[in-house]
Structure 1
Amino acid sequence: MDASLKAFMKGIIDYAGLFPPADLSLDTAIRKYSMYRKIDDSWMLSRFIMPGWQLDELKPYGEELFQEGEPFAFSVLGKGTETVSDYQEHLEELIDVLQRFHATHGDRVTTDILEIKLPREAVFAYDDKLLAEIYTETLERMDSSASTPNEIFFEGYFDKNWKKEVGLAIEMLHSVNADFDGANVKQGAFKLRCGGVKADMFPSVEQVAFALNKVREQNIAIKCTAGLHHPIRHYADSVNTKMHGFLNVFGGAMLSYAHDLSNNQLEEIIRDEDPDRFSFDDEGFYWNDLKVSTKEIAELRDVALISYGSCSFDEPREDLEQLGLM
């Protein structure tokens, strides 16, 4: 396998088997994840995405699955909320359940990432001070305990004024990060939703490119979720729309870091449906004549382009094999 593909795909997939379209039961999903941890391709696997309000339901697996191999790694998912007060209340609930979870399972589990939607009230008020208060309160509350996540990924919204909304959310996150000096929490980061079970849940190429370049400009890490089961952008009958490809999105973002691409240039990569234009060798990843080195890929994956959630761990690997990349 080419070194650049290894660096690109290392730990990139957070397993989201609980969520549509897979929509598996907790028992089936957690056992599938446990099995994936033992196969040859486990190096591509990262965390199990787990709703925070369901963490207590994992207690029966503590003496069985959690005792095998490395500690079970979880990315904890928060609920979407409408108001700031609902968000604050949910934050306290998450902290309580996280503390119980770690008290029960000790060092056999990790919960280093929290994924949480910003309260709609804060986003659509277009109030930078209110957003800053939300970010600061979340980082400080999570920083108060070593058992709570140390990377917080805040999810925004693509609405009518999406450039203003997403732009402000990312800019204020940068501002808060610059002033925050936590003992446990490393940073606030951004979560980009790339699809769903309906066509209107997929952001446009323009929206994805804007978000990717905005986090790059503001030095914010990003993780993605939903809609990235396959390497290359394509039309999917199941949702009656085009689905983004993880090579397009992550590869485009890497090339944008390497070459300071404009939004229009990045859009061209994200929009491309020709797999022959994407290639790997030991030296780097290429799209047409643009290259990002293997060393740069490893560095970006470590600090900037973290992972993406997928309800399937099989489809991404099978597609890479079909493309002759594995």
Structure 2
Amino acid sequence: MVRTGARQVTISPLLAGLCDDAALFPPGNAPMDAAVPAHLAHERSDHAALVGPFVFPAPRLGELPSILGEKAAGQDGELALSLTVPGGTDAVPAALEQLRAIDGAKLVAMEIAVPEGQSAAALLAALDEIAATAPGVDIFVEVPRDDRRAEILAGLAGTPYAAKFRTGGVVATAYPDEAELAAAIRTVATSGVRFKATAGLHHAVRNTDPDTGFEQHGFLNVMLATHRAAAGASVEEIAATLAERDGARVAADLDGLSAEDVDALRARFLSFGTCSISDPLTELVGLGLVPQSSTGPSAPTGPVDFISIDEGPLA
């Protein structure tokens, strides 16, 4: 719960820390000098409990010192970063060294890509070395959509490392269909591998982009699918949950979960990357999962209207 001058707004445990702020990434592509202050404003808002770390690309670390140096007086505290490392495990040591020299930033997570040709065994050995140099940092592995996926997910089971699934992109083939995503969710939900998702989750509920025709997964669908997978649902049943377009039904099913079920769900599905915090917040208000705030976005007066935006690869 976060107190504002006007009222209190409760973000339920179901949604706490759900939205990682990927404002720098497509399709938002926010300028850094606007994205950092905006993130800090979200952290001071009455919906702060919804907001996760600021997702930041390792190749742009050189731009960060000047931005942090311009933070306005009164914006105390460090900027919590989830660092994306597209160069893979080999690129992590240099990124960590660069980040340690930057005042005002705190590393809380890393999202590491798996380069083509890197085996699961080599990946896990490299992750162990990285973890020893970055204690307390959550490490996510961006699991590729190729024949290494099963081996990598099996290797992550029983380790402290989490998976990161891409759920969209700039072309239709970048979106895994319901069956593919359902199989991946069932694997992690039943093996104890924590995960996050990113790219393409522009809306709370499954939808078709009216401009591109791309079928886009909903982040609430992913949450409900994860719960049902952990409860023993089949791949077909999980896929049906991912395909559900009735937002009121999906929201009601999630809202009806017991406290124990919510804790178990969020221990598995950690967060998703979004280039906008206000868009998912507005839809959650519209679906009744977040109370409307006098300082936050206005709730829609009718069904949530899914507005198309250009798709791009997210963090």
Q: TM-score, normalised by structure 2?
A: 0.82
Q: Is the 8 A contact 2:89 2:113 kept in 1?
A: no
Cα deviation for residue 145 of structure 1 reads 4.2
**Aligned match for 1:134, one of 105, 111, 123:** 123
Cα deviation for residue 299 of structure 1 reads 4.1
Question: Which structure 1 residue ranges, 4+ long, deviate > 6 Å from structure 2?
Answer: none
> Which residue does 1:44 correspond to in 2?
50
**Aligned match for 2:192, one of 196, 219, 223:** 219
Q: 1:95-134 to 2 correspondence within 5 Å?
A: 95-101=96-102, 105=103, 108-122=104-118, 130-134=119-123
Give me the whole-angstrom Cα distance separating, in 1, the residues matched to 2:271 and 2:174.
Answer: 20
Aligned-partner SS, 2:93: helix
Cα deviation for residue 236 of structure 1 reads 0.8
> Which residue does 1:312 correspond to in 2?
276
Cα deviation for residue 232 of structure 1 reads 0.6
Give me the whole-angstrom Cα distance separating, in 2, the residues matched to 1:244 and 1:49.
Answer: 21
What CA RMSD, in Å, does the superposition of the two structures yield over aligned residues?
A: 2.4
- Number of residue pairs aligned between Structure 1 and Structure 2: 282
Cα deviation for residue 196 of structure 1 reads 2.0
**Aligned match for 2:221, one of 248, 266, 279:** 248
Q: Is the 8 A contact 2:220 2:251 kept in 1?
A: no
Q: Is the 8 A contact 1:95 1:142 kept in 2?
A: no
Give me the whole-angstrom Cα distance separating, in 2, the residues matched to 1:297 and 1:324.
Answer: 17
- Residues 4 and 295 of structure 1: CA distance in aligned 2, closer, same or farther (over 3 Å): farther
Aligned-partner SS, 1:9: coil
- Residues 45 and 55 of structure 1: CA distance in aligned 2, closer, same or farther (over 3 Å): same
Q: Is the 8 A contact 2:24 2:31 kept in 1?
A: yes
List alignment gaps of at least 5 residues for structure 2: 2-8, 291-315
**Aligned match for 2:62, one of 56, 70, 75:** 56
Q: 1:45-84 to 2 correspondence within 5 Å?
A: 45-65=51-71, 68-80=75-87
> Kindly, what percent of the aligned residue pairs are identical?
25
Counterpart AA for 1:158: R
List alignment gaps of at least 5 residues for structure 1: 81-86, 123-129, 178-186
Indicate the larger mover: 92-101 or 164-173: 92-101
Cα deviation for residue 74 of structure 1 reads 0.7
Q: 1:126-275 to 2 correspondence within 5 Å?
A: 130-146=119-135, 150-159=137-146, 164-174=147-157, 177=159, 187-257=160-230, 259-275=231-247
Q: Which has the higher helix share?
A: 1
Counterpart AA for 2:257: V
